[in-house]
Chain A
Amino acid sequence: MTMQREKYTATAMLLHWLLALLIISAFFLGLTMTNMPGITPTKLKYFNWHKWLGVTILALAFIRALWRLSHKAPPLPATIPRWQHYVSAATHLALYVLMFAVPLSGYFYSLAAGFKVVYLGLFPLPVLIDPNPTLKPILKATHYWLTMGMAALVVMHVGAALKHHFWDRDTVLLRMLPGRKKLPG
Chain B
Amino acid sequence: MKQPKALALLVLFVTAFSALVFAAANSIDKKTSAIEITFKQEGVPVSAKFNDFSGSIDYDPANIAAAKAQLVVQLTSFDIGDDAYNKEVQKKTWFDTTQFPQATFTSASIKALGADKLQAQGKLVIKGRSQDITVPITLKQNGNIKIFSGSLPIKRLYFNIGDGEWRDTDVLADEVIIKFSIATNTGS
Interface residues of A (CB under 8 A from B): 38-41, 44-45, 48, 113-118, 121-122, 124, 131, 133
Interchain nearest-CB distance for A46 vs B (Å): 11
Q: Which of B30-60 contact A (CB under 8 A)?
A: 41-47
- Indicate which residue in B43, B46, B47 contacts A122 across the interface (CB closer than 8 Å): B43
Complex Cα distance, B81 from A124, in Å, reads: 21
Q: Are B46 and A118 in contact (CB under 8 A)?
A: no
Q: Which residues of A contact B41 (CB under 8 A)?
A: 44, 48
Q: Are B81 and A45 in contact (CB under 8 A)?
A: no
Q: Which residue of A lies closest to B172 (CB)?
A: A41
Complex Cα distance, B172 from A117, in Å, reads: 15
Complex Cα distance, B45 from A136, in Å, reads: 19
Q: Are B168 and A41 in contact (CB under 8 A)?
A: yes
Query: 7 tightest A-B contacts by CB?
Result: A121-B43, A41-B171, A118-B43, A114-B81, A121-B42, A118-B44, A39-B88
Q: Interface residues of B toward A: which range?
A: 10 to 19
Q: Are A116 and B165 in contact (CB under 8 A)?
A: no
Complex Cα distance, B41 from A40, in Å, reads: 12
Q: Which residue of B lies closest to A117 (CB)?
A: B44
B85 CB within 8 Å of chain A: yes
Q: Which residue of B lies closest to A112 (CB)?
A: B81
Q: Contacts A40-B165, A41-B168; is A131 near B81 (CB within 8 Å)?
A: yes
Q: Are B172 and A114 in contact (CB under 8 A)?
A: no
Complex Cα distance, B47 from A175, in Å, reads: 50
Interchain nearest-CB distance for B83 vs A (Å): 11
* Given contact pairs A39-B84, A48-B41, A114-B82, a sample of 4 additional A-B residue pairs in the complex whose CB atoms are under 8 Å apart: A44-B42, A114-B80, A115-B46, A121-B43
B100 CB within 8 Å of chain A: no
Q: Are B85 and A39 in contact (CB under 8 A)?
A: yes
Interchain nearest-CB distance for A146 vs B (Å): 22
- Indicate which residue in A41, A114, A115, A124 contacts B165 across the interface (CB closer than 8 Å): A41
- 5 A-B pairs with CB atoms under 8 Å apart are A45-B42, A48-B42, A113-B82, A124-B45, A131-B81
Complex Cα distance, B144 from A17, in Å, reads: 68
Q: Are A121 and B165 in contact (CB under 8 A)?
A: no
